[in-house]
Amino acid sequence: MTNRQVADILNRIADILQIKEENPFKIRAYRNAAQSIYYLDEDLRSLYKKDKIGDVPGVGRAVKGKIEELLEKGSMEYYENLLKEVPQGVLEMLSVPGIGHKMVKLIYEKTGIDNIDDLLKAAEEHRLREIPGIGEKTEENIKKGIEMLKKNRGKVNLGIALPLAEKFRDFLLEDERILAASVVGSLRRGKPLVNDIDILVAAEDYLAVHEKAEQFTEIKKINRKDKENVSGKLIFDIDFELIIVLPDDYYHSLVWTTGSKPHRAVLFSEIGRSSFRGAVSEKEIYEKLNMQFIPPELRENRGEIEKARLNELPVLVELGDIKGDLHVHSDWSDGAHEIMEMVRKAKEKGYSYMAVTDHSKSLPISGGLDEERLLAQGRVIDDLNLKIEDFKILKGIEVDILKDGSLDFSDEVLENLDIVVASVHSNFKMDKEKQTKRILNAIKSGKVNIIGHLTGRLLNRRSGYELDIDGILKTAARYNVALEINSHPERLDIDEETAFKAKEYGVKIAINSDAHNKEDLDLIRYGVINARRGWITPDDVINTWPYDKLVKFLKKE
DNA sequence: GCCGTTTTCGGCCCGACTGTTTTCAGTCG
């Protein structure tokens, strides 16, 4: 039972209590406990051994007891009983955008509908609008929401799949009979949503792979197990497949199982991959095919093969190129940690600068800053900058782009900052023309350096609003405004296609974590992967630049 | 259900938008 799983269960308890309309503060208590466990540095199991679970903030006597029961027995009586009152399928209905606990309760009680499939059917047959309180529009929104969910059903984002896959791979490599292992498939290519986890494994004895794999604690079920394959389900119901090959077949199989189908089809159209038996690297194979080594993120047959033949592939940005983070929250707004804690973590990561960009006042739920608190924060940052060495904290803001495209602070206030990230956090449902104009307004203000999470998409949850991307890129280039690649695995916004286009327009990119706690600074990794899929080079990315060059860009010099 | 206290009970983030209403409840960030 991992921290994440415990946090999930506490959240589901909160969901059930909310549907049952219990005390809102009790519900929040469960959510608070879930959140702080989710972000905990230490494993709950080791805290348990030291009897320190009660020390976790938000965990009091009652929840402590329940977590201990969960860790001891793998189940919790309180939760099991709640599930009898509100079935799992009803909880899943909560994932439909636009419907919350009240409406789920209403629908469940009035119609008995207790799963998403039946809910969709009822919406299609116009049976939902018969329920008092639900009209045509709500019904239509529910239908649309479910269709979006279904499109991505079973898909899981990089932030969940990649760490789990790497953990599995490293576990396999502990066994000395397993000579090599690599994450492959669309996950290695870095696609934002993947269907499953594929790992290529080299071993002389396939039974060794079976033996070791069976001991991986995150496996829920094994469906198939033979000479070439072990497959089944991992935690969170993620499908996995281990592809077992002999050591001599490892590298050509690595190219084969990594490449998208169109990529590998072109690659091996003339020479079969078996003629590469015994190769000692992927590079060797690409060389024998008369081309440069193609990084996994580019293997989509989108022109990379032609470029590789001409020796013209771009040198892609790498995690190690990142010199700082330009979108970071602190406990001045909705971040969890103090500025100095974020700085410490940023320094650990080898950064030389970091921008503090808390929310602005129009976002009250986030504790958005008003002019006065922004000034106070600026003074604190000035002080910190005097104390720390070899590191710069930039004074910034994530300023809200209001409905009409104006910014949440006056020009004068914004001019006194080192960096301005501007983002949309409200009115997502405006039409394409208005939404585009709104963002263009922000760009044209001349006060903005970076547009944060441009489209507002949340993978698997919410599609972004429609925008005239070309119009925005053209204007951003003219006004020296960079676009953010928001690294949060649920966002990865802008996406790879827009990043690719941005480069053509000469628009610079900022790869930002949007961290709300110090651990989140590590999310930058996913943004870098996304940038690589968009063919982005270090020079395209302003936060790979040295501080002085960055400052010139920010001052629009 | 948690937390903190001039310590065992009272307080615990809010505002805008949407869709359904006919003055407001639910959802979202």
Between helix A24-38 and helix A61-73 the angle, nearest 10°, is 50
Tens digits of residue pLDDT in A494-542 = 999 999 999 999 999 999 999 998 889 999 999 999 999 999 999 999 9
A237-245 mean pLDDT: 95
* Whole-number distance in Å between A491 CA and B15 C1': 24
Q: Based on the domain organization, do A176 and A100 belong to the same domain?
A: no
User: Which range, of A149-153, A159-163, A329-333, A467-471, averages the lowest pLDDT?
Assistant: A149-153
Domain assignment present for residue A262? The answer is yes
How many whole angstroms separate alpha carbon A537 and alpha carbon A72? 50
Domain assignment present for residue A139? The answer is yes
How many whole angstroms separate alpha carbon A200 and alpha carbon A251? 10
Paired sense of beta strands A509-512 and A482-486, if any: parallel
Nearest-nucleotide field for A13 (CA, C1'): B1
How many whole angstroms separate alpha carbon A440 and alpha carbon A437? 5
pLDDT for res A80: 95
pLDDT at A545 over 90: yes
> Domain of A190?
156-309
Residues 6+ positions from A241 with CB-CB distance below 8 Å:
A196, A197, A198, A199, A229, A230, A231
Q: Is the CB of A52 under 7 A from strand B?
A: no
Q: Based on the domain organization, do A354 and A426 belong to the same domain?
A: yes
pTM score of the predicted model: 0.88
Tens digits of residue pLDDT in A327-378 = 999 989 888 889 999 999 999 999 999 999 999 988 877 888 989 899 999 9
How many whole angstroms separate alpha carbon A281 and alpha carbon A273? 13
Q: Based on the domain organization, do A39 and A168 belong to the same domain?
A: no
* Whole-number distance in Å between A132 CA and B24 C1': 14
b/e per residue, A258-297, with b = 16+ CB within 10 A? bbeeebbeebbeeeebeebeebeebeebbeebebbebbbb
> In the β-sheet with A353-359, what is the strand arrangement from edge to edge?
A324-328, A353-359, A392-400, A419-423, A450-451, A482-486, A509-512
pLDDT at A152 over 80: no
Residues 6+ positions from A214 with CB-CB distance below 8 Å:
A222
pLDDT for res A460: 80
Beta bridge partners, A360, equal: A369
Q: Based on the domain organization, do A394 and A514 belong to the same domain?
A: yes
Nearest-nucleotide field for A32 (CA, C1'): B2
pLDDT at A223 over 80: yes
Residues 6+ positions from A206 with CB-CB distance below 8 Å:
A226, A227, A228, A244
Q: Based on the domain organization, do A376 and A520 belong to the same domain?
A: yes
How many whole angstroms separate alpha carbon A185 and alpha carbon A179? 19
Nearest-nucleotide field for A462 (CA, C1'): B28
Q: Based on the domain organization, do A393 and A526 belong to the same domain?
A: yes
* Whole-number distance in Å between A462 CA and B8 C1': 45
Tens digits of residue pLDDT in A275-305 = 999 999 999 999 999 999 999 999 999 999 9
Average per-residue pLDDT in chain A? 94
SS3 A446: coil
- What's A332's domain CATH number? 3.20.20.140
The percentage of residues in chain A with a pLDDT greater than 70, rounded to a whole number, is: 100
pLDDT band at residue A403 using 50, 70 and 90 as cut-offs: confident
How many whole angstroms separate alpha carbon A464 and alpha carbon A429? 10
* Whole-number distance in Å between A507 CA and B1 C1': 50
Tens digits of residue pLDDT in A181-218 = 999 999 999 999 999 999 999 999 999 999 999 999 99
Q: Based on the domain organization, do A384 and A494 belong to the same domain?
A: yes
**Position with higher pLDDT, A379 vs A426:** A379
Neighbours of A73 (CB within 10 A): 10
pLDDT at A153 over 90: no
Nearest-nucleotide field for A95 (CA, C1'): B27
Q: Is the CB of A137 under 7 A from strand B?
A: yes
pLDDT for res A430: 84
Domain assignment present for residue A168? The answer is yes
Nearest-nucleotide field for A97 (CA, C1'): B27
A315-336 mean pLDDT: 94
Provide residues 268-327 of A with CB closer than 7 Å to any strand B atom: none
The closest alpha carbon to A299, from A330, A270, A262, belongs to A262
Residue that has been written with the tokens 């606990």 in this structure:
A101
- The DSSP code for A541 is B
Provide residues 430-469 of A with CB closer than 7 Å to any strand B atom: 430, 458, 462
Q: Is the CB of A406 under 7 A from strand B?
A: no
How many whole angstroms separate alpha carbon A95 and alpha carbon A104? 10
Counted domains in chain A: 3
pLDDT for res A53: 92
For residue A203, with 0-12 CB atoms within 10 Å meaning exposed, 13-18 middle and 19 or more buried, which class applies?
Answer: buried
pLDDT at A236 over 90: no
Q: Which of A291, A309, A327 is the last residue of a domain?
A: A309
How many whole angstroms separate alpha carbon A189 and alpha carbon A344? 32
Domain assignment present for residue A273? The answer is yes
Q: What does the angle CA A424 – CA A427 – CA A433 come to, to the nearest 5 degrees?
A: 85
Q: Based on the domain organization, do A25 and A129 belong to the same domain?
A: yes
Nearest-nucleotide field for A96 (CA, C1'): B27
Paired sense of beta strands A353-359 and A392-400, if any: parallel
Domain assignment present for residue A427? The answer is yes
Q: Which of A274, A289, A309 is the last residue of a domain?
A: A309
> In the β-sheet with A219-225, what is the strand arrangement from edge to edge?
A178-184, A196-203, A239-245, A229-234, A219-225
* Whole-number distance in Å between A434 CA and B17 C1': 16
Q: Which of A279, A309, A339 is the last residue of a domain?
A: A309
pLDDT for res A551: 98
Task: State in Å, rounded, how far the first CA of chain A is from the last one.
Answer: 53
* Whole-number distance in Å between A216 CA and B9 C1': 48
* Whole-number distance in Å between A25 CA and B10 C1': 12
Q: Based on the domain organization, do A269 and A352 belong to the same domain?
A: no
Quick check: A551 and A534 in contact, CB under 8 A? Answer: no
For residue A344, with 0-12 CB atoms within 10 Å meaning exposed, 13-18 middle and 19 or more buried, which class applies?
Answer: middle
User: Which range, of A90-94, A153-157, A209-213, A215-219, averages the lowest pLDDT?
Assistant: A153-157
Domain assignment present for residue A314? The answer is no
How many whole angstroms separate alpha carbon A254 and alpha carbon A169? 14
Q: What does the angle CA A85 – CA A91 – CA A95 come to, to the nearest 5 degrees?
A: 165
pLDDT for res A421: 96
Provide residues 407-426 of A with CB closer than 7 Å to any strand B atom: 425-426
Q: Based on the domain organization, do A131 and A195 belong to the same domain?
A: no
The percentage of residues in chain A with a pLDDT greater than 90, rounded to a whole number, is: 82
Q: What does the angle CA A520 – CA A524 – CA A526 come to, to the nearest 5 degrees?
A: 110
Which tokens hold the place of A519? Answer: 């651990």
* Whole-number distance in Å between A26 CA and B4 C1': 17
A381: left (phi over 0), alpha (psi -120 to 50) or beta: alpha
pLDDT for res A303: 96
Which tokens hold the place of A191? Answer: 């696609």
Paired sense of beta strands A196-203 and A450-451, if any: unpaired
Tens digits of residue pLDDT in A418-471 = 999 999 998 888 888 889 999 999 999 999 999 999 999 888 878 888 899 999
Q: Based on the domain organization, do A142 and A194 belong to the same domain?
A: no
Nearest-nucleotide field for A364 (CA, C1'): B14
What are the two backbone dihedrals, phi and then psi, of residue A274, each rounded to the nearest 5 degrees? -65, -20
How many whole angstroms separate alpha carbon A422 and alpha carbon A405? 10
Q: Based on the domain organization, do A144 and A215 belong to the same domain?
A: no
pLDDT at A176 over 90: yes
Q: Is the CB of A101 under 7 A from strand B?
A: yes
- What's A194's domain CATH number? 3.30.460.10
Residue that has been written with the tokens 């439909």 in this structure:
A96
* Whole-number distance in Å between A394 CA and B10 C1': 41
Domain assignment present for residue A19? The answer is yes
Amino acid at A556: K
Q: Is the CB of A154 under 7 A from strand B?
A: no
- What's A55's domain CATH number? 1.10.150.110
How many whole angstroms separate alpha carbon A526 and alpha carbon A491? 10
